[in-house]
Amino acid sequence: MRVAVIGASGHIGTYLIPRLVDAGHDVVAVSRGKREPYTPHGAWQRITQVTADRDAEDADGTFGRRVAELEADVVIDLICFEESSARKLADALTGRVRHFLHCGTIWTHGPSARVPTTEDQPKRPLGEYGKQKAAIESYLLDRAHRDGFPTTIIHPGHITGPGWVPVNPAGNVNPSVFQTLADGEELALPNFGLETVQHVHADDVARLFVDAMVNPSVSVGESFHSVATTALTLRGYAEAVAGWFGRDARLTFLPWEQWRGTVSEQDAQVTLDHISYSPHCSMEKAERLLGHRPRHTPLEAIFEAVDWLVRAGVVTPRS
């Protein structure tokens, strides 16, 4: 099939493009052309690359038409963050694609209530990002059920892999937290360190997109989580990372208002976003309908990212 991937050079696309090429598909990668994929692969020499500024072209009403004119059988949209943009693209592709796959987020659920959270539980997102992604999901699935627009939605957790900083045991993305644990120094965590994060390797997300794409009879009109099968508490996560460096985690715990004063305002906000949700989502639906199981545990996925940080000199093990 001819497959167009929007936002192709990011976390998911780094793994998705090679998988599609290796499977024999004719691949068109649509991106701003501002960066290379995180991991080099020969597949990138065997695709068609299209440079497009989605925001600018959405503003002048040309982006949807540009994608439709690629004449793809399948369109995978990895970078849509506003309902208005989703509507424009869906309108342009109506009657012109066999399958449309959208990248959502587990944050459409809002804070965990009953865990593990399943895809059919109520949506109660907190921030604007989660609210917009929930609105996109609602619109696209309504189109799928009402007039047959062939939509599937994949909801990743905290995407992790070599080449970027993963969400750390303090719930933010400051690499100094990994350095503190590598040094065996004391690390303060908010509250009792029992809030959760749920990572997923970027390649497992890519695999789920492919599994959904090749099984449209069961995936169209559905949404699927893409997370590791278990979540981690901040405390358990910190203890595991310290162990990778041959250390025992030296942890202290502070009430939220006190803890936030120990970090930058930016780090505090990112942590608050993560611990307010404390996700623990189920992968049962993807296994039942698509036969999909993540290949990486959360710690296996995170280890690859931390190993890259060490090799890149961002984190330095101490003797």
pLDDT for the residue numbered 151: 98
pLDDT for the residue numbered 39: 86
Domain identity same for 90 and 180: no
Whichever domain contains 101, its CATH number is: 3.40.50.720
pLDDT for the residue numbered 204: 98
Which pLDDT tens digit goes with each residue over 275-294?
999 999 999 999 999 999 99
Examine residue 319 and state whether it is found in any structural domain, yes or no.
Answer: no
Residue 319 has pLDDT above 90, yes or no: no
Domain identity same for 140 and 273: no
Examine residue 190 and state whether it is found in any structural domain, yes or no.
Answer: yes
Instruction: State the amino acid at position 152 in one-letter form.
Output: T
Looking at the chain, how many residues does it have?
319
Q: Is the peptide bond before 317 cis (omega within 30 degrees of 0)?
A: no
Count of alpha carbons within 13 angstroms of residue 267, beta-carbon side: 20
Domain identity same for 173 and 88: no
Examine residue 302 and state whether it is found in any structural domain, yes or no.
Answer: yes
What is the per-residue burial (b if ≥16 Cβ within 10 Å, else e) of 299-311? bebbbbbbebbee
Examine residue 172 and state whether it is found in any structural domain, yes or no.
Answer: yes
Domain identity same for 85 and 177: no
Structural domains of the chain, count = 2
Domain identity same for 44 and 128: yes
Cα gap 29→6, rounded to integer Å: 6
Which two three-digit tokens encode residue 257?
Answer: 């208002």
Domain identity same for 105 and 177: no
Q: What percent of the chain has pLDDT over 70?
A: 100
Residue 189 has pLDDT above 80, yes or no: yes
Decide if 316 contacts 310 (C-beta within 8 A): yes
Domain identity same for 191 and 207: no
Which pLDDT tens digit goes with each residue over 25-64?
999 999 987 778 888 889 999 999 999 999 999 999 999 9
Domain identity same for 116 and 191: no
Q: What percent of the chain has pLDDT over 90?
A: 94
Which pLDDT tens digit goes with each residue over 219-269?
999 999 999 999 999 999 999 999 999 999 999 999 999 999 999 999 999
Examine residue 65 and state whether it is found in any structural domain, yes or no.
Answer: yes
pLDDT for the residue numbered 35: 78
Neighbours of 77 (CB within 10 A): 25
Domain identity same for 133 and 55: yes
pLDDT for the residue numbered 36: 83
Domain identity same for 72 and 184: no
SS3 of the chain: CEEEEECCCCHHHHHHHHHHHHCCCEEEEEECCCCCCCCCCHHHHHCEEEECCHHHHHHCCCHHHHHHCCCCCEEEECCCCCHHHHHHHHHHHCCCCCEEEEECCHHHHCCCCCCCECCCCCCCCCCHHHHHHHHHHHHHHHHHHHHCCCEEEEEECEEECCCCCCCCCCCCCCCHHHHHHHHCCEEEEECCCCCEECEEEHHHHHHHHHHHHCCHHHHCCEEEEECCCCCEEHHHHHHHHHHHCCCCCEEEEECHHHHHHHCCHHHHHHHHHHHHHCCCECCHHHHHHHCCCCCCCHHHHHHHHHHHHHHCCCCCCCC
User: Mean pLDDT, the chain, as a whole number?
Assistant: 96
| Angstrom distances, CA of residue 51 to CA of 30, 48, 180, 189, 198 | 6, 10, 41, 43, 33
Interval 139-148 mean pLDDT: 97
* In the block, residue with structure tokens 């995407």: 159
Domain identity same for 119 and 260: no
Examine residue 317 and state whether it is found in any structural domain, yes or no.
Answer: no
Examine residue 286 and state whether it is found in any structural domain, yes or no.
Answer: no
pLDDT for the residue numbered 47: 95
Interval 74-78 mean pLDDT: 98
Q: Which of 149, 185, 181 is nearest to 77 (CA)?
A: 149
Domain identity same for 126 and 86: yes
Examine residue 318 and state whether it is found in any structural domain, yes or no.
Answer: no
Cα gap 209→232, rounded to integer Å: 24
pTM of the model: 0.96
Interval 149-163 mean pLDDT: 97
Enclosing domain of residue 49: 2-159+200-226
